[in-house]
């Protein structure tokens, strides 16, 4: 056994070095010119030159999240050692695929900083434009004041009126027994349905309180439905993007998806009547 080993080493003076150079299993397997170029580029780039590694250095100040994801997936495919037989493919693949969270400065030193984890699914912060004034606590409170009043006022009114905060049960959209009596709120013109037996002796003041309660519940109703619509559209856009290429038809379908509940909610928040 020792003699055979010595003889083999004699025939291949660099046999051990050659074996070590191909410890990643790529020896003898085919590769394309593009795969070779990708490996060489990754190995040539600095450890923190993430845009260079992805081949996005020339557009690093303008590239989108989608372009970064697309470049990452393409590079993963090109350098994956199971598909790339060029020497060093394993090293190149590990160099960017298993790295920790990286911080990019998309503006080349500007204010828009984004945190991105290669291979992860964490959401990225949208870069700041630099032209948007910072929101103060006062401005935020002012913008939310109409909604605060809309939710608080019915509760206060019901307390002072002596009625229960919940009041009669009600339905929206369409009547379903026993909620068959239709009523339209005075302020936002929200149509709702109640059980006639629960409002038989209602006074004008009690109807006013019930109207405000209906408007509050209707806003909650629209908000929950709008959230579902937004989640559906977001999922459609993610599915359209795909792992290796974007389905433009599916993406356009997602972007133009009708969101009736969100539309109704926005109209009410702007003060437009519901009906």
Instruction: List, for residues 236-247, the tens digit of each pLDDT value.
Output: 998 888 777 788
Range picked from 18-22, 54-58, 202-206 for highest mean pLDDT: 202-206
Q: Rounded to 5 degrees, what angle do the CA atoms 243, 249, 252 make?
A: 100
pLDDT band at 48 (very low <50, low <70, confident <90, very high): low
pLDDT band at 51 (very low <50, low <70, confident <90, very high): confident
Q: What pLDDT does 255 receive?
A: 92
The half-sphere exposure of 175 on its side-chain side, counting CA atoms within 13 A, is 11
Question: Bridge partners of 115?
Answer: 103
| Domains identified in the chain and CATH numbers | 25-116 (1.10.287.110), 139-269 (no CATH)
The span from the CA of 74 to the CA of 53, in Å, is: 12
Tokens in use for 110? 């500007």
Mean pLDDT, range 162-185, rounded to an integer:
81
Location of structure tokens 């309660």: 213
Q: What pLDDT does 142 receive?
A: 67
Peptide bond into 72 cis (omega under 30): no
Q: Higher-confidence residue: 145 or 199?
A: 199
> Following DSSP, what letter does each residue of 189-207 receive, concatenated?
--EEEE-GGGSTT--HHHH
Q: Is the per-residue pLDDT at 19 higher than 80? A: no
Please classify residue 162 by burial: count the beta carbons closer than 10 Å to its beta carbon, then call 0-12 exposed, 13-18 middle and 19+ buried: exposed
Among 36, 7, 26, which residue's Cα sits nearest to residue 81? 26
Q: What pLDDT does 47 receive?
A: 65
Give the pTM: 0.40
Distance of CA 28 to the CA centre of its chain: 43
Q: What pLDDT does 87 receive?
A: 85
Mean pLDDT, range 61-86, rounded to an integer:
78
């Amino acid at each position: 056994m020792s003699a055979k080993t010595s003889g083999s080493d004699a025939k291949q003076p660099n046999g051990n070095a050659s074996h070590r150079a191909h410890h990643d299993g790529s020896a003898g397997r085919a590769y394309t010119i593009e795969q070779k170029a990708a490996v060489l580029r990754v190995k040539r780039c600095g450890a923190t030159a993430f845009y260079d590694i992805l081949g996005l250095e020339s557009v690093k100040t303008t590239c989108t999240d989608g372009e970064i994801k697309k470049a990452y997936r393409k590079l993963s495919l090109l350098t994956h050692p199971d598909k790339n037989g060029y020497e060093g493919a394993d090293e190149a693949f590990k160099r960017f695929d298993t790295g920790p969270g990286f911080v990019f400065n998309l503006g080349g030193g500007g204010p828009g900083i984004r945190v991105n984890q290669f291979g992860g699914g964490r959401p990225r912060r949208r870069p700041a434009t630099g032209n948007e004034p910072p929101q103060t606590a006062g401005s935020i409170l002012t913008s939310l004041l109409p909604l605060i009043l809309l939710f608080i006022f019915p509760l206060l009114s019901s307390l002072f009126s002596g009625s229960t905060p919940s009041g009669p049960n009600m339905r929206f959209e369409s009547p379903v027994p026993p909620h068959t009596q239709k009523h339209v709120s005075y302020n936002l013109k929200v149509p709702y349905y109640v059980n006639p037996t629960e409002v038989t002796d209602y006074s004008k003041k009690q109807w006013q309180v019930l109207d405000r309660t209906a408007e509050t519940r209707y806003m909650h109703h629209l908000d929950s439905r709008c959230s579902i619509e937004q989640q559906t559209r977001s999922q459609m856009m993610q599915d359209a993007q795909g792992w290796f290429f974007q389905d433009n038809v599916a993406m356009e379908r997602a972007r133009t998806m009708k969101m009736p509940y969100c539309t109704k909610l926005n109209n009410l928040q702007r003060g437009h009547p519901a009906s």
